[in-house]
Structure 1
């Protein structure tokens, strides 16, 4: 005991001596060369920090820096405010307009029911023949296409055919605008409309129910997927990985199609789109099931995913659990179901939502750890990753990228000021990150440009430069599920687009 005491005292004395020496040395002026070296080391470590820029890229980088400096004088500064309140400001931003032109690579985290703009859904899908609507007691809407008036549903008014209903209205435009409001979370006063996470998630899930009856009708479904690819392409995106749930497409007579039918439709429509747009690489599906379901249901879904991947290896990329993590069941809860591919010696990649929470230290928060234990290929959102240094190190070592969806995180009330988003830590540390948009329909966006803006101007701050944008775009291809030869092809196509973007904009 005495020897331990003297050993501890000796160590303490040594530490005090080091501190005294440090104080003495630090009283003199710090070496400016050492300061410059430290700053350069930090910049080199961030995403894009090691990217060597050509002369033309440096010219555009200088322009972007000037534009961003001006952007930071805007009041309100867009990333510091709720996206719904500043979308109109962002749309006028010269930085945003440049980002719209930029080839962004791939969108790797979008859910199929929220792929297309609400405007298209209302002005196209709801104007089709045989479209019925009912108004729920909770203030939402449901849609159904049917050759005859659908049977009444509990919790909803009697069904009305939309063409007949519109014929009786004085102001059809106002009615259509109200339908759009029912298909999006967008509002002028988000703080009042959604005071808590529970409130915004409740509304969020009701919208998915409303969308389901509209977009799973076969004629709409086919046009919807094609329109989704078109909206992404117009935002300079060349590849998509889409989370697809278990809803089945239905015909006018009510008959439904199985998932294999839907996968064939996805593949055929992608090929049609590629035929018309040869520089579009394609799309793949991540089969998803809601985390509120039972272990047996999830196990059944995993088996379905294994079977479908065997039948459609070019279409099905992998499997995911979706839904609100805070109220849903954890990845560990489903460990028996998720172990099925390993037990069957089948290779089914996982792309888990994990860490979409601010409940630090809870079972939900540990989804980050469990996702990595199940060898997830990417981490959806990963908002909580910075609280898990071991997981953070492991994901970086393995090359497991975080799918960063900043607008989604803000709208769903994980962070209010995007300058405080934890992804800033990941970006400054050079952690693998890709940018995506999660549910563009619900947030009043299309493509990825809005999310890239929030990452570039808000989360990355002034340190983020053209190299940051370049590496983020490259990451989206690097960490995609594409086979190596297709990644090489995608990189070649992207590089050609990037070079043209630089040539067209470096001398503005």
Structure 2
């Protein structure tokens, strides 16, 4: 998208409030921030200059995405680093009208490097308050368990997430390629998370089919599905999602970048909307996929999405609880009038 097109997209979507429920905070670190943090922490980068790093970020394929991801996580060390990641993305998203974010981070990446869980979780949760004070954006956190790691190694992530529930951790996700490990292997961990007061918000229905969405609901007790667009392959599943008002977090550019959708014109978002499924629009890994919240909403509107309905789906899908729901309702009401946050939002 050319600079003029980006400016027009921003002008078009910034005036209305937005809720983003699917953004990986590590994937939102822009090159300039990464470059500065590497220098601060004495970490060698694969390039020597900021322009080279910006070119390194240019997406080529999924393997290259993993390379950039690993460079980013290897640069983050301290609680102030993690706090900055939260605040920086809240500031960026606020410029596009975001009022509420559920940010994802990946504790396994850091715990495996010997970073203490307390340092990690305190840094990210401290970022919640700083983000609110500096940007007015409400942030809550939903750390991911990694399918590529043995389930037992992620038990500490669940326990720390529960421990920091009162600091703004509201759910636990399941990330990584959906076919890399069976969903049932993580069922006990998610039962523990739910018992500890956290919602289950797993990735499903992206690189695997509708079956993975079904497993996320039946085996993990999913309150919301990250991605989930493959549900359209199973009419019975679509009916159940509608009946239970389970929200799907759709990430259009991400789906193209990871090649699970060939191009934006082929994205099933129009079909999801036609079926009446409640969906939110998200960036996933905006810095690494070359996108932002304005671009995603511009595409969603071109596909027939109504901004108010997207907001209502966000109110419905957030897992932070009644207090946040009420605050978001009030924001919506001040912009559009009464927002229906019941179990069956208008579509």
TM-score after normalising by structure 1? 0.60
In 2, Cα distance between equivalents of 1:409 and 1:130: 33
Say which of 99, 105, 110 aligns to 1:244: 105
Q: Deviations over 1:16-50 (max 9, x none)?
A: xxxxxxxxxxxxxxxxxxxxxxxxxxxxxxxxxxx
Q: Which position in structure 2 is the counterpart of 1:283?
A: 139
**Contact 1:226/1:273 (<8 A) preserved:** yes
**Contact 1:407/1:454 (<8 A) preserved:** no
**Contact 1:332/1:367 (<8 A) preserved:** no
Say which of 298, 305, 308 aligns to 2:158: 305
**Contact 1:117/1:445 (<8 A) preserved:** no
Which structure has the larger Rg over C-alpha atoms? Answer: 1
Distance 1:379 1:185, change over 3 A: farther
**Contact 1:118/1:444 (<8 A) preserved:** no
1:88-107 correspondence runs (5 A): 88=3, 90-92=5-7, 94-104=8-18, 106-107=19-20
Q: Deviations over 1:253-296 (max 9, x none)?
A: x97332x333333333322332344x43x211112121112232
Distance 1:110 1:492, change over 3 A: same
Q: Which position in structure 2 is the counterpart of 1:409?
A: 255
In 2, Cα distance between equivalents of 1:133 and 1:371: 39
**Contact 2:140/2:169 (<8 A) preserved:** yes
Q: Which runs of 5+ in 1 are unaligned?
A: 1-85, 136-140, 142-165, 167-174, 187-192, 194-199, 500-508
- Over the aligned positions, Cα root-mean-square deviation in angstroms equals 2.7
In 2, Cα distance between equivalents of 1:350 and 1:216: 27
Distance 1:334 1:180, change over 3 A: same
Q: Which runs of 5+ in 2 are unaligned?
A: 338-347
- Greater RCO between the two (CA within 8 Å, min separation 6)? 1
Secondary structure, aligned partner of 2:142? strand
Secondary structure, aligned partner of 2:22? strand
**Contact 1:221/1:249 (<8 A) preserved:** no
Say which of 171, 176, 191 aligns to 1:323: 176
In 2, Cα distance between equivalents of 1:203 and 1:351: 26
In 2, Cα distance between equivalents of 1:204 and 1:479: 28
Distance 1:130 1:410, change over 3 A: closer
Q: Which position in structure 2 is the counterpart of 1:231?
A: 92
Q: Deviations over 1:335-383 (max 9, x none)?
A: 45444457xx5443210100112x55xxxx5211101103201111113
1:45-444 correspondence runs (5 A): 86-88=1-3, 90-92=5-7, 94-104=8-18, 106-122=19-35, 124-126=36-38, 128-129=39-40, 131-133=42-44, 135=46, 175-182=49-56, 184-186=57-59, 193=60, 200-246=61-107, 247-248=109-110, 256-258=115-117, 260-277=118-135, 279-280=136-137, 282-298=138-154, 300-301=155-156, 304-306=157-159, 308-326=161-179, 328-340=180-192, 345-357=195-207, 360=209, 365-373=210-218, 374-444=220-290
